[in-house]
Amino acid sequence: MRLNKFLSSCGIASRRKCDEIISQGRVIVNGKVADSLGLSIDENKDRVEVDGKVLCLPKEFVYLKLNKPKGYACTASDERGRKTIFDLIKSDVRLFNVGRLDYDTEGLLIVTNDGDFANKIMHPSFAIEKEYIVTIEGEIKESELAVLRKGVVVNGERMPSARVKFVSTDGKFTKLSVVIDEGQNHQVRRMFEAIGRDIKLLKRIRIGKIRLGGLYRGMTKPLTRQEIDYFMGENR
């Protein structure tokens, strides 16, 4: 296994950032400073240290999708004493969430202990799409949709454009599909605030090709081999 992939899989950083850490002389392999970015190691035999900390791969990698309900924080422990997503997950393995959803946002969240896998999903260069169902009060005008699609202006800066599609309305509430690929903090909520619309319910239903499907709120399901390979393919 290449050294940068080993470091990334241990949750140190992305492979590119791990190359920087290696170049800084912070990685020790079998007692010697790693001096090659292309160095390969035997993850089962070689001793690898970063900043004096010995690393080892998890005995098994876990890949789950979770339907996060509203009212749960995306953290291992919350300083305000709120419930966290890990209250919902039964596992003896130390896991972490890939990205976040706001406390009041529900839907698809990926949870794993594979740092390299997580970094492939999170890295901006991959521009992985995320789709949300947005529920707002009342009906929406075509002119408002056009502004959302072009990219709203917030604090003098234009936010990234989004694919926004009408889903349904009953006159009282309207549902829209919003697809983004940059994922700025609170991007979807800020988009609608900018046009004077308050989101009543925000739900993520897709990350790349991974769909929430019929997974019940608060439940988890292992990713399929095909879903894992989608993110871990060599073309990514």
- The number of beta carbons lying within 10 Å of the beta carbon of residue 162 is 20
State whether residue 98 is helix, strand or coil. Answer: strand
Q: Give 93-96 contacts, CB < 8 A, sequence gap 24+.
A: 93/58, 93/60, 93/62, 95/62, 95/64, 96/11
- Token duo for residue 113: 């202990």
102 counts as catalytic:
yes
- Residue 150: CB partners within 8 Å, gap ≥ 6? 161
**Residue 110 backbone dihedrals phi, psi, to 5 degrees:** -100, 135
Catalytic member of 102, 114, 170, 181: 102
Active site residues: 102
